Chains A and B, each alone.
Chain A
Amino acid sequence: MEYIDLHAVQERMTKRLFLNKLIKYVFLGAALFGLIVLAILLYRVYIDSIGWINFDFLNNKLSTSADRAGIKGAIVGTIWLMIIVGPVTMILGIGTAIYLEEYAKKGRLHSFIQTNISNLAGVPSIVFGLLGLTVFVRLFGFGSSIIAGGLTMSLLVLPIVVVAAQEAIRSVPGFLREASYGMGATKWQTVKNVVLPAAIPGILTGVILALSRAIGETAPLVVIGIPALLIPLPSGLFDNFTALPMQIYYWTIDSVLVDEYANLAAATIVVLLVVLFVLNSVAILIRNKFQKRY
């Protein structure tokens, strides 16, 4: 006497296995979707920018005529911006991380600052722009200068550095600290001579990622009124400046009026993406080269 219908079981099994296989490829397709879009995006930008990127484009200043327009001002402005963002986020970010990991007692204040930082990480960048506009541009009277843009951007990317530095410091094993204390070192000596050197690769990776975020971020700059007009090259912290993303923004919205502006925007995007690619590669290199396991 048969209790199970082998044929029915077989049929059901085949169906289930087939569905499993089918779905696997559907999911693979979905996973590849993002990559396909990325490929199209890069290809489009590349096609649009062919013939527009050359030495003149990099070295010319802005011009109303599309043939002679260049992005030297934007490149110089972006470098100036990094001169502020780099040191400011490093000092504030690493300082915060050391305080939270090494000094703060794990109590209310600690968790308050910690929560505060993770909340800040989720605040839209345009709100930081408004903060910069209200505080740095208007209240402090910096105007749409390098220092106002740099400080705004620094606050925006600060959480990235803090979180990375905290993780790097946390991964320094306790026995290194204990050995240092055992040799008679004080707390700050231990932090400075033992913990920080061991954590530096992780911290640097975080700083570079923060910088690359700051280079590509546009919304805060638009809000604090960074121009993309014909302005002289900046020569000091209180000068007006423009930056690569601002240049892309203006050329993109004006491409409706002048067709060639779309090419200029695409060419600037290529420059920006190359810079970001180089920065991210450096970050990955540092992480791989100096990653220590204890």
Chain B
Amino acid sequence: MLKTVSVKELIQQKKQSTSSTAVLEKVVPILLFAAAFISVLTTIGILFTLIYETILFFREVSILEFFSGTVLRPLSPVDPQFSILPLIMGTLLTTIIAMFVAIPIGLTTAVYLSEYATKNTRKILKPMIEVLAGIPTIVYGFFALTFVTPVLRDIIPGLEATNVLSPGIVMGIMIIPLVASLSEDAMNSVPNAMREGAMALGATQLEVTFRVVIPAAISGIIASFVLGISRAIGETMIVTIASGSSKNFTFDVTQSMQTMTAYIVEVTSGDAATGTTIYYSLYAVAMTLFVFTLSMNMLARHISRRFREVY
């Protein structure tokens, strides 16, 4: 026997289910937008905390002293002085050393992978180099302090137990995969027709690389350098562990110096009481760090967009 169904009931059912779907259709986009807005809130939160406390800091310390003095003595009970220059110096030196390691090795690695390596070598080598990027920076810090520094001290007699050289080198190693992988992407996107054209004129692989491929990919390569610098400026654990906490203003890389990031770590782990000048100096330093890295990142994006060659 056939089961009888009332059409009226069916319509009723359909109506009910449609209304709940309709509500869902309206609510879901709002929820999804709320999720997306969290990232905007995060940026607002970062900017607000940094700017607000930085303003409080500059009420107590003059901007001139902060950016032109050379003495950082936050803990001195008699005459505390706040100047960021020693920290900028430390950051600058570690970054320069890091880039001296990361740029040549990263770039040649990229050239090898994109121009010389066979498909199979590349398949094995590339992921292995990228493993370097996945190692936590705390492990690099341990490596710098317990291995690289002792080795360097055997070579350079005057080297202090904490110094700028060793964390700089280790930081450079950490950044190699970033430079290598971004530069390789840039070189890979150079069309083969250009290589073949040069080779047909009798150029060797080396000449093709330096006269054709690198000039064509230069925007991507420079962008990778700038991103590497930004990464080096913001890196924290390696320098905190291996570069020490002396607030020196010097060019001598064998000495212990503090970077901006290491200063933030020192102050926050030292339980600076809220409302003290030291506490506010934390945010002024963080603000400077933030401005540096943000402008580097934006510069990198600008370079790769503005100067991208279209083939």
Q: Do A and B bind each other?
A: yes
A-side residues, CB < 8 A to B, are 16-17, 19-20, 23-24, 26-28, 30-31, 33-35, 37-38, 40-41, 44-45, 48, 91-92, 94-96, 98-100, 103-104, 112-113, 116-120, 122-131, 133-135, 138, 155, 158-159, 162, 186-189, 212, 215-219, 222-225, 245, 248-249, 252-253, 255-256, 262, 265-266, 269, 272-273, 276, 280
Query: In the complex, which of the residues A223, A262, A265 contacts B265, with contact meaning CB atoms closer than 8 Å?
Result: A223
Stretch of B68-76, B92-100, B287-295 that contacts chain A: B287-295
Contact residues in A for B227 (Cβ distance below 8 Å): 122
Question: Chain A interface secondary structure, helix, strand, loop or mixed?
Answer: helix
Instruction: Find the A residue at minimum CB distance from B37.
Output: A113
CB contact under 8 A between A127 and B286, given known A116-B39, A186-B25, A248-B138:
yes
A41, A99, A123: the one contacting B143 at CB < 8 Å is: A41
A222 and B161 alpha carbons, distance in the complex (Å): 23
Minimum distance in angstroms from B292 CB to a CB of chain A: 9
Closest 8 CB pairs of A and B: A124-B234, A95-B35, A216-B136, A30-B108, A122-B297, A99-B32, A219-B236, A27-B112
Q: Provided the pairs A120-B43, A125-B234, A219-B236 are in contact, do residues A98 and B132 lie with their beta carbons within 8 angstroms? A: no
> Which residues in B have their C-beta under 8 angstroms from that of A95?
31-32, 34-36
Supplied contacts A95-B35, A95-B36, A218-B236, 4 more A-B pairs, CB within 8 Å: A19-B206, A123-B234, A186-B24, A219-B137
For A23, the chain B residues whose CB sits under 8 A away are 206
Residue B146 at the chain A interface, CB threshold 8 Å: yes
Q: A99-B32, A138-B274 are in contact. Are A30 and B109 (CB under 8 A)?
A: yes
- Whether A219 and B237, one on each chain, are in contact in the complex, defined by CB atoms closer than 8 angstroms, is yes
Check A218 against B137 for contact (C-beta < 8 Å).
Answer: yes
| Residue contact B139 to A99, C-beta cutoff 8 Å | no
Chain B hits for A103, CB < 8 A: 29, 32-33
Q: B40 near A113 (CB under 8 angstroms)? A: yes
What interface size band does chain B fall in?
35 or more
Cβ distance B31 to chain A, nearest Cβ, rounded Å: 7
Nearest-CB residue, chain A, relative to B266: A222
For residues 121 through 164 of chain B, which have their beta carbon under 8 Å from a beta carbon of chain A? 125, 128-129, 131-132, 134-143, 145-147, 161
**Chain A residues positioned under 8 Å from B293 (CB to CB):** 122-124
Closest to B33 in A: A99
Chain B residues positioned under 8 Å from A217 (CB to CB)? 136
Q: Which residues of B contact A222 (CB under 8 A)?
A: 236-237, 240, 265, 268-269
Contact present for B283 and A34 (CB under 8 Å)? no
Q: Mark B247-282, 1 if CB is under 8 A from A, else 0.
A: 000000000000001001100110100100000001
Residue from B38, B139, B261 within 8 A of A126 (CB atoms): B261
Whether A162 pairs with B29 at a CB distance below 8 angstroms is: no
**B176 at the binding interface (Cβ < 8 Å):** yes
Interface centre among A117, A127, A212, A217 (most CB of B within 10 A): A127
Are B139 and A41 closer than 8 Å at their CB atoms? yes
Contact A125 B294 (CB under 8 A): no
What are 28 inter-chain pairs, A to B, with CB distance below 8 A?
A20-B205, A20-B207, A33-B105, A33-B176, A34-B176, A35-B128, A41-B135, A44-B143, A92-B38, A95-B32, A99-B35, A124-B234, A126-B261, A134-B53, A186-B21, A212-B134, A218-B136, A218-B138, A222-B236, A225-B268, A248-B138, A249-B141, A252-B138, A252-B142, A262-B146, A269-B138, A273-B139, A276-B136
By a CB distance below 8 angstroms, the chain A residues around B137 are: 216, 218-219
Min C-beta distance of B83 to chain A, whole Å: 20
Q: Does B46 contact A (CB under 8 A)?
A: yes
Is the Cβ of A35 less than 8 Å from the Cβ of B136? no
- Which single residue of chain A is at the shortest CB-CB distance from B109? A31
Q: Provide the bound-state CA to CA distance between A155 and B297, in Å.
A: 19
Knowing A37-B173, A120-B42, say if A269 contacts B139 (CB, 8 Å): yes
Residues from chain A with a CB closer than 8 A to the CB of B147 are 40-41, 44
A252 touches B236 (CB 8 A): no
Contact of B230 among A31, A122, A125, A248 (CB under 8 A): A122
> How far apart sit A130 and B263, CA to CA, in the bound complex (Å)?
13
Closest to A246 in B: B138
Q: How far is the CA of A281 from the CA of B293 in the complex (A)?
A: 32
Asked whether any CB of chain A lies closer than 8 Å to the CB of B113, the reply is yes
Of B104, B139, B233, which is within 8 A of A30 by CB? B104
Q: Does A155 lie within 8 Å of B42, measured CB to CB?
A: yes
Question: Are the C-beta atoms of A127 and B129 separated by less than 8 Å?
Answer: no
Task: Find chain A residues with CB under 8 A from B212 CB.
Answer: none
- Cβ of B108: which chain A residues have Cβ within 8 Å of it? 26-27, 30-31
- B45 near A131 with CB under 8 A, answer yes
- Contact present for B138 and A31 (CB under 8 Å): no
Contact across chains for B38 and A218 when beta carbons are under 8 A apart: no
Instruction: Let me know if B204 is at the binding interface, CB within 8 A.
Output: yes
Choose from B104, B233, B268, B269 the contact partner of A124 (Cβ within 8 Å): B233
Question: Could you say which residues of chain B place their CB within 8 Å of the CB of A37?
Answer: 132, 173
Given the known inter-chain contacts A16-B204, A252-B142, A252-B241, please indicate yes or no for A34 contacting B177, CB distance below 8 A.
yes
Residues of B within 8 A of A16 (CB): 204, 206-207
Query: A273 contacts B294, CB within 8 Å?
Result: no
C-alpha spacing A188/B21, complex, angstroms: 9
Query: Which of the residues A96, A118, A135 comes within 8 Å of B45, measured between beta carbons?
Result: A135
Whether the Cβ atoms of B35 and A28 lie closer than 8 Å is no
- Given the contacts A119-B43, A122-B230, A216-B136, A34 and B141 also touching, CB distance less than 8 Å: no
